[in-house]
Amino acid sequence: MLFPPNDHRAQSPHAVSLASHLPLIDEGPLNDLLAALESDMAAVVSFVTAFIEQWPERFRRIVETIGACDSIGAVTAVLSLNVSSRIIGATALTAMSTELETVVRQGDFDAGRCHLGALEVMGSQTLRALSSLRYGTELAVA
């Protein structure tokens, strides 16, 4: 295993249900990505770095579309976060975005807004956990 297990767990007092009980990062998907990219570690590091750098814009877009009660925009923004989180093994963030997607699809934007604080905390924790992984190259949280 190229990415050893870690002890990072979600630590948000506001975390939503399942997400707060999951590890922040599961290195299994990162190892799968590495295998799919024919052991191109630079490509994996680039993908993770892009995820970290895109977090502020992804979160801003989720906040904006939920605030505007824009169903299509909110689902699109949440799915973008969900898919990219799943690819890199951001387990807790994936679970939280899945929960957020459910309430947005139900049209419950008040509940969606209630998820945003926990999502922001979970995102920050996830970025720190990703940055602490050892790839042989240092990653920096933007």
Here the CATH number for the domain that contains residue 106 is: 1.20.120
Residue 139 belongs to some domain of the structure: no
* Whole-number pLDDT of residue 97: 96
Residue 11 belongs to some domain of the structure: no
Task: With cut-offs at 50, 70 and 90, classify the pLDDT of residue 19.
Answer: confident
Residue 8 belongs to some domain of the structure: no
For the cut 80, the answer to whether the pLDDT of residue 76 exceeds it is yes
Integer Cα distance of 141 and 93 in angstroms:
16
What b/e string do you get for 70-103 counting C-beta neighbours within 10 Å, with b at 16 or more?
eeebbbebbebbbebbbbbbbbbbbbbbbbbbeb
pLDDT in tens, 37-56: 998 999 999 999 999 999 99
Residue 27 belongs to some domain of the structure: yes
Task: With cut-offs at 50, 70 and 90, classify the pLDDT of residue 6.
Answer: very low
For the cut 70, the answer to whether the pLDDT of residue 2 exceeds it is no
Residue 30 belongs to some domain of the structure: yes
Residue 101 belongs to some domain of the structure: yes
What average pLDDT is seen over the chain?
A: 85
Cα–Cα distance list, 57 to 3, 26, 116 (Å) = 27, 24, 14
Tally of domains in the chain: 1
Integer Cα distance of 32 and 39 in angstroms:
10
* Whole-number pLDDT of residue 67: 97
* Whole-number pLDDT of residue 134: 63
Higher-confidence residue of 9 and 65: namely 65
Residue 141 belongs to some domain of the structure: no
* Whole-number pLDDT of residue 135: 57
Q: Decide: pTM greater than 0.85.
A: no
Residue 3 belongs to some domain of the structure: no
Domain range for residue 55?
17-132
3-class secondary-structure state, position 22: coil
For residues 62 and 116, is the Cβ–Cβ distance under 8 A?
yes
